[in-house]
Amino acid sequence: MRAARRVALGAGGAVVLLAALDAYVVVTVLIDIARDVGVPLNHLERATPIVTGFLLGYVAAMPLLGRLSDRYGRRPLIHACLAAFAVGSVLTALAAGEVMVVAGRTVQGVAGGALLPITMALIGDLWDEHERPLALGAVGAAQELGSALGPLYGGLVAQISSVMLVGVELGGWHAIFWINVPLAALAAVAVQLTVPGRPAAPAAPGATAAPPNPAGPAAPGAAAAPPNPAEPAAPGAAAAPLDPTGAAQPPAGRVDVVGGALLAVALALLVIGLYNPDPATAVLPPWGLPTIAAGAVAAGVFVWWEIRSPVRLLDLSGTRKGPLLATLGVSFLAGAALLVTMVFVQFTAQTLLGKDELDAALVLARFLAALTVGALLGGLLARKLGERAVAVAGMVVAAAGYWLMSRWPLDLAGAGLVVDIDLVVAGLGLGVVIAPVSSAVLRVSPAAQHGVASAAIVVARMMGMLIGIAAVSAWGFYRFQSLTAHLDTPLPFGVEAATYQRQLAEYTAKVQAALHTEYTEMFLVTAVICLLGAAVALLMPRSG
């Protein structure tokens, strides 16, 4: 039984890692994708939906499809998600325009976002309350590993030489998505062989649960089928099946479709309102303010619905709301800072330092390595100093790192170790926050809700990434357009070659200066986000 569960956990962790890698993989190749689908480098704001489309699908699908797996079983839903993930990867790899690449990434996001809660639900099926936290931690580690390895993975795979087959590009950034197809197929085989088709019924008190049969239904005499929720259990019988939180499942077939739709609509409206395809004259598009207002209204209706609905996407009704919301708020703001860093440090390395995808990813690796070390350090410090103190200190250190990054000189190539040190400071600060936030939300939640509490932390961080990158990039791209609006692109007609080269050099220098101003101001905004996170962290619960 233990071996079978470990193999199932390995398969589940592998699919979560696959989805997490693709959440961050485009960070490295975003400029190349933008160029190939017809987005000019001076209008990179049009590439923002490539990132936000994936995140929107990821966040919107995460809670809803996890509940659907309660009805249809873990294995069928994982298979469906892996198939959709492969389809989205193919659409992205074949994309020849902005619409198709965004559509492919959104499909990938929907499929990838569902894999985490379904795997958590699988752990709820196979592990008891005492062993479950360790298994959940392993899945969480796979999720975090994806954020650390995603950009480097993308940079490495993008080095595959350009290869054309029947008119289809297989190399370069396209290879990242073509590789997903066999990886998804292998993951589907592993899931078929290891994951039970339906959740097993809990064993009666004192009994030993029969191992799940990955190939199909249990043989006669094995674990009983899940009880019918419409019928009362006989005296002394086992309790109703548990969901990934350990709490009793809602009645069969009850899925909060309304809540899921409201959450998706609210997030979509906020992202659309923040997306400005022409930021030359304003931060927001003409439809920005009314669309954002509509998104805020939809978010309010979502909260109202979740308070009153008998079936909820993330049911944390037994948890103290003040400490919970503060902890989720810190996770939200840390997520915003994290993705802004991953996208715009990569941009900085490729535009101001002139590095290729892999070398730019190696610059970002300073931050990611420090983030990983900080995550380990944060767990150790939180045990001794308490979660709140460590979370506050981490956000303050991160703010200091981003403030230092906002002071980077225009000549980054000559800055020496300054860039590396500043990235390490920011990474350590954000990394230190990860463990205290997770620990605090588990401590204020009943043991029966630890699974859903862990999922809530991930949802909050991903929502922070989605809204943060949309909002901060809207400001940054507006600043770039305003700084370059007066520049005229030199043309090699009617002038001598030497004059043209001089004009081109002057134009390039001014564009580089505008990019430098854009990036450093965005890092300053990120420092403010981290300071806000430190203030919110002061409201986190005290350690017991």
> Is residue 413 included in any domain, yes or no?
yes
488 and 357 belong to one structural domain = yes
Indicate the pairing of strand 164-165 with strand 168-169. Answer: antiparallel
Residue range(s) defining the domain that contains residue 426: 329-544
271 and 145 belong to one structural domain = no
> Is residue 78 included in any domain, yes or no?
yes
| Nearest Cα to Cα of residue 9 among 123, 106, 87 | 123
Does 47 have pLDDT greater than 80?
A: yes
296 and 422 belong to one structural domain = no
Question: CB neighbours (10 Å) of residue 9?
Answer: 23
In tens, the pLDDT along 237-281 reads 333 333 433 434 444 446 677 888 888 899 899 999 988 888 878
Tell me the two tokens of residue 509. 């220098």
What pTM does this model have?
Answer: 0.77
> Is residue 22 included in any domain, yes or no?
yes
Does 228 have pLDDT greater than 80?
A: no
The last residue of a domain, from among 199, 217, 247:
199
> Is residue 164 included in any domain, yes or no?
yes
Overall number of domains in the chain: 3
3-state secondary structure of 120: helix
114 and 153 belong to one structural domain = yes
In tens, the pLDDT along 19-31 reads 888 888 888 888 8
The last residue of a domain, from among 180, 199, 218:
199
162 and 278 belong to one structural domain = no
Does 393 have pLDDT greater than 90?
A: yes
Say how far apart CA 533 and CA 500 lie, in whole Å: 49
49 and 164 belong to one structural domain = yes
305 and 340 belong to one structural domain = no
9 and 117 belong to one structural domain = yes
Q: How confident is the model at residue 90 (pLDDT cuts 50, 70, 90)?
A: very high
Q: How confident is the model at residue 224 (pLDDT cuts 50, 70, 90)?
A: very low
Q: Is the dihedral of CA 180, 54, 83, 133 positive or negative?
A: positive
Look up the CATH number of the domain holding residue 364: 1.20.1250.20
> Is residue 238 included in any domain, yes or no?
no
391 and 445 belong to one structural domain = yes
| Nearest Cα to Cα of residue 419 among 476, 341, 333, 474 | 341
- State mean pLDDT over 398-402: 97
The last residue of a domain, from among 184, 199, 214:
199
In tens, the pLDDT along 441-456 reads 877 777 666 666 767 7
